[in-house]
Structure 1
Amino acid sequence: MTAEPTTYDLFRAAERSAMHLEMRDAYTPDDPDWNEWKAGGRFKPAERWADWFDLMRETTGRGVEVRRARIVSEPVTDYIRFEYDVTADHNVAAGELVRWLPRHKTAGITVPATDYWVFDERIVVWNHFDGNGSWVGEERADDPELAKLCAAAFDAVWERAIPHQEYRPS
C-alpha cells in the first residue's frame, strides 16, 4: 500500500501553480512564533521554517507560481497584524506572491467556507481548523472540476486583492 502524498509532495509534483486562500482572522493560538511575537520577540523564519524556504525555492525555481491570498477583517486582529509583519521575511522571501483583501471588499465573490490549496487546477487540499483557530487536519480532493471552481474563486479574490507591498493593515 502506497502512502497518500503529503502537501509537500504536491508542491514537488506541481507543474504550473499552487494557490492558497486564507479566510480566518486568527490561527493556531499555541503557535510559538505567534506567542513570541506577542511577547515582543522577533520572528526568525530562517531558523524555524528552513524546510518551507527550501520547498518554495525548489517549487518556484521550477517555474511554478505560488500565490497566497488572505481575506481579512478590518480593523485587523492582532494575529493578522502578526501575519502581515512576518509575510515579507517569511512568505515573500520564500518566493510566494501574497495579496490581502479586506473582507468588506468581497461582496459578490463566492468562496468555499474553509481555507484551501489548489495545485495545478487538479487537486484541492482543504485546511480545517477549530473555532479557536487550532489546526484540525486537512482533506484532499482529487477532483479537477472542484479544483477549477476553487481556482476561479481564488482568482476572483486575487483580482481584487492588494499586493503585500502596497497593503497597510488598519
Structure 2
Amino acid sequence: MAEAPTFKELFHDCQRSAVHLETRDAYSKTDSAFIDWKAGKSIDPQRWGAWRSIVGESVSRGVAIRRARVVSTPVSEYIRFEYDVTAGLNIAAGEDVRWLSRRDATGITLPGNDFWLFDSSLVYVNHFDGEGEPTEPELTEGPEIVKLCESAFEAVWKQATPHADFEVR
C-alpha cells in the first residue's frame, strides 16, 4: 500500500475546499501543547507554524477551509483545550470553525471516523486508537464515502455555532 500523502501535499493539490469533521471528545493526550495547557503554561500559536503556513497558503489561493466539531457537553478537558487554542491556531490561520453539541446531532447521520474532505472528491479518514492516538490514516475517493462525508459535514455545519458564539460548558 502506498504511503498516504502529507497534509502539505493534500492542501497543495486542493483547489476549492477542505472541510474537517471532528467527533471525538479527546485526542492525543500526550500532545505537548495539551500537557503544557494542563500545567497552566501559555500556549504560543507559533508552535503550530507549519500548520498555519499550510492553511494560510491554501486560503490565499482561494481554498475555503472549514472545521466542525461535534462535542459532548459539558465538554471534556481536551475539548476545553481545543476551544482555548482555536482562535490563535485555526481561525488565525484562516479556517472557519464551528461547534455542535452532540445532543443536537442526534438526527444527523455521521461516519464512524473523523475525516478531511478535499474538493468534495477525496476523503482522508483519520483513525485513532482507544486512547486517542492517531493510527494509520485511510485515503478514499469511493463515491459512497465521499457522499456520506459531504452530507454529514454540511448537516453539522448548518446546525453548528460559530466559534466566537459557542459557549464552552
TM-score, normalization by structure 1: 0.95
* 1:103-162 residue CA offsets vs partner (Å, 9 max, x unmatched): 000021001011000000110011011111111121100224421321111000000000
Matches within 5 A, 1:105-124: 105-124=104-123
SS at match of 2:137: strand
Query: Is the CA contact 1:109–1:156 (under 8 Å) kept in the aligned structure 2?
Result: yes
SS at match of 1:49: helix
**1:15 alignment partner in structure 2:** 15
**1:65 alignment partner in structure 2:** 64
Identity %: 50
**1:76 alignment partner in structure 2:** 75
**2:102 alignment partner in structure 1:** 103
Matches within 5 A, 1:43-54: 43-46=43-46, 48-54=47-53
Q: Which amino acid is the alignment partner of residue 157 of structure 2? A: W
Q: Which amino acid is the alignment partner of residue 38 of structure 1? A: K
Query: Is the CA contact 2:111–2:148 (under 8 Å) kept in the aligned structure 1?
Result: no
* Structure 2: unaligned runs, 5 residues or longer: none
Task: Give the count of matched residue pairs.
Answer: 168
SS at match of 2:25: coil
Root-mean-square deviation (CA), in Å? Answer: 1.3
Rounded Cα–Cα distance in structure 1 between residues aligned with 2:25 and 2:154: 20
* 1:43-97 residue CA offsets vs partner (Å, 9 max, x unmatched): 1121x11111111111011111000000000000110000000000000000000
Matches within 5 A, 1:33-44: 33-44=33-44
**1:166 alignment partner in structure 2:** 165
Rounded Cα–Cα distance in structure 1 between residues aligned with 2:26 and 2:109: 21
SS at match of 2:99: strand
SS at match of 2:166: coil
Rounded Cα–Cα distance in structure 2 between residues aligned with 1:3 and 1:104: 37
- The 3 A distance-change label for structure 1 pair 3 and 77 is closer
Structure 1 residue ranges (4+ consecutive) displaced by more than 3 angstroms after TM superposition: none
Q: Which amino acid is the alignment partner of residue 148 of structure 1? A: K
Rounded Cα–Cα distance in structure 1 between residues aligned with 2:142 and 2:3: 19
**1:24 alignment partner in structure 2:** 24
Query: Is the CA contact 1:101–1:162 (under 8 Å) kept in the aligned structure 2?
Result: yes
Rounded Cα–Cα distance in structure 2 between residues aligned with 1:66 and 1:168: 22
SS at match of 2:138: strand
